[in-house]
Amino acid sequence: MKRKKFISRLSAFVLTTVLLCCSCGAEKALRKAEQHEALGEYSEAAKYYKKAYSKTAVKQRDKRGERAFKMAECYRRINNATRAVGGYKNAARYHYPDSIVFLHLADMQRMTGDYKSALKNYEVYHTYKPEDIRAINGMQSCKDAPVWKKHPNRYIVKKFDLFNSRRAEYAPMYAGEDTEQIYFTSTREDAQGEDLSGITGMKAPDIFISRKNEKGKWQKPEPIESEVNSDFEDGACCFTPDGKTMYFTRCQMDSDYPRYAEIFKSTRSDASWSAPQKCEIVKDTLSSLAHPAVSPDGEWLYFTSDMPGGMGGKDIWRVRFTADGFGGVENLGNRINTPGDEMFPSFRPNGELYFSSNGHPGMGGLDLFKAIWDEEREQWDITNLQAPMNSQADDFGMTFEGPYNRGFFTSNRGDARGWDHLFTFELPEVIKTITGWVYEKEGYELPEALVHLVGNDGTNKKLSVKMDGSFTERVNPEVHYVLLGTCKGFLNYKQEVQIDSTNESRDYVLQFPLSSMTHPVLLENIFYEFDKATLTEASAASLDSLVVLLNDNPNVTIELSAHCDYKGSDAYNLRLSQKRAETVVNYLIAGGISPDRLVAKGYGESSPKVLRKKLATQLGFLKEGDTLTEEFILTLSEEEQEICNGLNRRTEFKVLRTTYGLYE
């Protein structure tokens, strides 16, 4: 009995000793974690919070929940979404008392692409805080993102390996209007300094540059040779439109107390950058100012800050350049800024503002947005760029190649460590064109032709054609165009086309078969009932086109002629062809053509077909100038005779006058 009591007491002592040791280890790790977190060194803090959590007894549920939450917060701040999800789940499992755990868990699940789970946790948080816009936008995001992912837009996105390393690269920026040079920020091995950042676990970033060679190819990036780069964190630069002034972010580090991001300025003389000077934008020394961007007109400096007076988190602000320095700062307002973070502003030369946000409805972490200022309503119109520009990860930091909708941006998509890399983007331009061919009906191209182009948007142009009779003209969407093909010695030919408003490029192809004023013109697809002058329904389309042609050429009078083959008597063929010509004339009159512009003439078999070059070439067994008389046809094979007889059975017109109505 005594032996059993001794063993029991010994076990209790050992257990107590182990618990005390674990408790001491947990508290020691916790103190270190809190020290690193206070300095903003979240990577180091996460390691110690993880250690403190693992050394905390399972029975100490409150402490485990709190330490899991703090660990998750640090992982969230360094973009390690996968580990953050695990931390928040443990915090929720141990009933962490603040409902914010569900919001942040949902945010991280959205960053991993788990929209279904994220939606559930947004809904849980929404029951606690129904007015919080972050939950409302989060729920909307979980509904929108899968649709955007399934139906991506026309942007083309590619990872640009030449600029990327084994570390992080972000915030690319062309050198003002010079698109032959590009700057970006990187933590690669070539960056200055040896110490690893407690915030990111990587070297402090520097600014790198790449230039195009004489063949237009980008060269290997190298750090800029300037005092702009230091042992501190330098990056996220921008330039004035002339490329002579650089603004960039610098985060100075101190092991004793936290330091905040600041904006510095450097000017270029020849090829070198001057020693940077701090920009005194505000007197507040306890707020970060970062991610500068100069407006295309050079009048404003936009930047990111968490200074008081914003909408929450980090906001985008701006300050005007003045002769005396900087004016007063302005917040861009709640159309741009949210309770979340809005960062990395940049511009296209046309004035469009681009930025990244995790507060607006989006696909994951930071999403890219376009903002256009509406002068009439005096507000910003915001558009999410959707997939593939945006992903479940962070997408930010765009720069544009001059006026084109292409360039570079940053994303940490596909990187398990959450490290950023550079991607190219291009939105293929939507181009609407009209391509036409002007040629002689029954003949070849007409390189002397001229096409008149008139649009209801005020367009009025004369287009010359190429040697092959073709032309191509870029046109505007949602415009109705009228085109008139003209050439000396030929009747005008009109075409009309309505250009659509779709986001797809399209070429509208038109034909302009001009009718000769000096040769008879065949009316194709004119058919009569056998041995009669009655037109069949199949003839309507061709005759309706002739009505249009005559209306487009109102000063023309024509002879409408009908012809027969040699079968039957001459008198019979003459009567039949005359009746057929009159039938066609009557159709044209019924179509609105004045009778005194029309002459009906039946030729019977007396005017056989004379072959022109194009038709002779197509048939092969005939040559240009052959006249299809009965004598000539009878020298051919039976098959060839039938073809020739078919050519003789025809309806044509020829121009008689071009001055009708001019002198009335």
306 shares its domain with 260: yes
- Please, are residues 432 and 379 in contact by the beta-carbon 8 Å criterion? no
509 shares its domain with 630: no
Can you give the pLDDT at residue 429? 85
Which whole number is the average pLDDT over 30-42?
Answer: 89
Rounded to whole angstroms, the Cα distance separating 95 from 634 reads 105
Q: Is residue 664 in a domain?
A: no
Q: Is residue 122 in a domain?
A: yes
Could you tell me which residues are beta bridge partners of residue 158?
424
Can you give the pLDDT at residue 565? 94
168 shares its domain with 125: no
636 compared with 255, residue with greater pLDDT: 636
The CATH number assigned to the domain holding 328 equals: 2.120.10.30
Rounded to whole angstroms, the Cα distance separating 29 from 27 reads 5
Rounded to whole angstroms, the Cα distance separating 277 from 263 reads 9
- pLDDT band at 261; cut points 50, 70, 90: very high
Can you give the pLDDT at residue 40? 82
Per residue in 119-150, pLDDT (tens digit) is 999 999 999 999 999 999 999 999 999 999 99
For 24, list phi and psi in degrees, rounded to 5. -65, -45
Could you tell me which residues are beta bridge partners of residue 453?
461, 483
- Domain range for 242: 162-426
Residue 538: Cβ-neighbour burial (10 angstroms; 0-12, 13-18, 19+): exposed
Rounded to whole angstroms, the Cα distance separating 295 from 247 reads 12
For residue 650, count other CB atoms closer than 10 A to its CB.
20
- Please, are residues 411 and 394 in contact by the beta-carbon 8 Å criterion? yes
Can you give the pLDDT at residue 10? 45
Q: Is residue 30 in a domain?
A: yes
For residue 347, what are the contacts with CB-CB under 8 A and spacing of at least 6?
293, 294, 295, 296, 353, 354, 400
Q: Is residue 583 in a domain?
A: yes
Of the three residues 367, 402, 426, the one that is the final residue of a domain is 426
Residue 547 tokens read as 């009505």
207 closest CA partner among 247, 240, 255:
247
Can you give the pLDDT at residue 195? 65
CA 196 to chain centre: 38
21 shares its domain with 145: yes
Which whole number is the average pLDDT over 485-508?
Answer: 94
The CATH number assigned to the domain holding 110 equals: 1.25.40.10
Rounded to whole angstroms, the Cα distance separating 266 from 245 reads 6
The angle that helices 540-552 and 570-590 make with each other, rounded to 10 degrees, is 60
Helix H, strand E, coil C: the string for 482-506 is EEEEECCCECCEEEEEECCCCCCCE
Rounded to whole angstroms, the Cα distance separating 137 from 413 reads 22
Instruction: Reply yes or no on whether the pLDDT at 257 is more than 80.
Output: no
Provide the CB-side half-sphere exposure for 372 (13 A, CA): 6
Helix (H, G, I), strand (E, B) or coil at 244: coil
Which whole number is the average pLDDT over 576-594?
Answer: 96
240 shares its domain with 328: yes
Q: Is residue 649 in a domain?
A: yes
Report DSSP state, residue 443: S
Of the three residues 491, 514, 537, the one that is the final residue of a domain is 514
Instruction: Tally helices (H) and strands (E) across the chain.
Output: 12, 32
Rounded to whole angstroms, the Cα distance separating 32 from 44 reads 9
Which whole number is the average pLDDT over 595-606?
Answer: 96
Residue 509 tokens read as 């192809």
Cα angle, residue 107 at apex, residues 106 and 108 outer, rounded to 5°: 90
Can you give the pLDDT at residue 391? 96
Instruction: Reply yes or no on whether the pLDDT at 588 is more than 80.
Output: yes
130 shares its domain with 266: no
Can you give the pLDDT at residue 9? 54
For 495, list phi and psi in degrees, rounded to 5. -130, 150
- pLDDT band at 284; cut points 50, 70, 90: confident
Per the omega criterion (within 30 degrees of 0), is the bond before 388 cis?
A: yes
- Please, are residues 107 and 138 in contact by the beta-carbon 8 Å criterion? yes
The CATH number assigned to the domain holding 599 equals: 3.30.1330.60
Q: Is residue 533 in a domain?
A: yes
Per residue in 309-347, pLDDT (tens digit) is 999 899 999 999 999 899 999 999 999 999 999 999 999
232 shares its domain with 363: yes
Number of domains in the chain: 4
301 closest CA partner among 363, 347, 234:
347
Instruction: Reply yes or no on whether the pLDDT at 17 is more than 90.
Output: no
Can you give the pLDDT at residue 608? 96
- pLDDT band at 201; cut points 50, 70, 90: low
Report DSSP state, residue 566: S
Instruction: Reply yes or no on whether the pLDDT at 8 is more than 90.
Output: no
CA 200 to chain centre: 32
494 shares its domain with 613: no
Of the ranges 88-102, 198-212, 506-520, which one carries the lowest mean pLDDT score?
198-212
509 shares its domain with 591: no
603 compared with 664, residue with greater pLDDT: 603
Can you give the pLDDT at residue 41? 86
Per residue in 91-125, pLDDT (tens digit) is 999 999 999 999 999 999 999 999 999 999 999 99
Per residue in 615-627, pLDDT (tens digit) is 999 999 999 999 9
- pLDDT band at 23; cut points 50, 70, 90: low
Mean residue pLDDT of the chain comes to 92
257 shares its domain with 331: yes
Confidence (pTM): 0.70
Q: Is residue 662 in a domain?
A: no
- pLDDT band at 258; cut points 50, 70, 90: low
Per residue in 166-188, pLDDT (tens digit) is 999 999 999 988 999 999 999 99
Per residue in 406-450, pLDDT (tens digit) is 999 999 998 888 899 999 999 988 889 999 999 999 899 999 999
| Residue % of the chain over a pLDDT of 90 | 83
- Please, are residues 371 and 362 in contact by the beta-carbon 8 Å criterion? no
499 shares its domain with 537: no
Residue 188 tokens read as 């690669």
N- to C-terminal Cα separation, the chain: 139
147 closest CA partner among 361, 386, 425, 389:
386
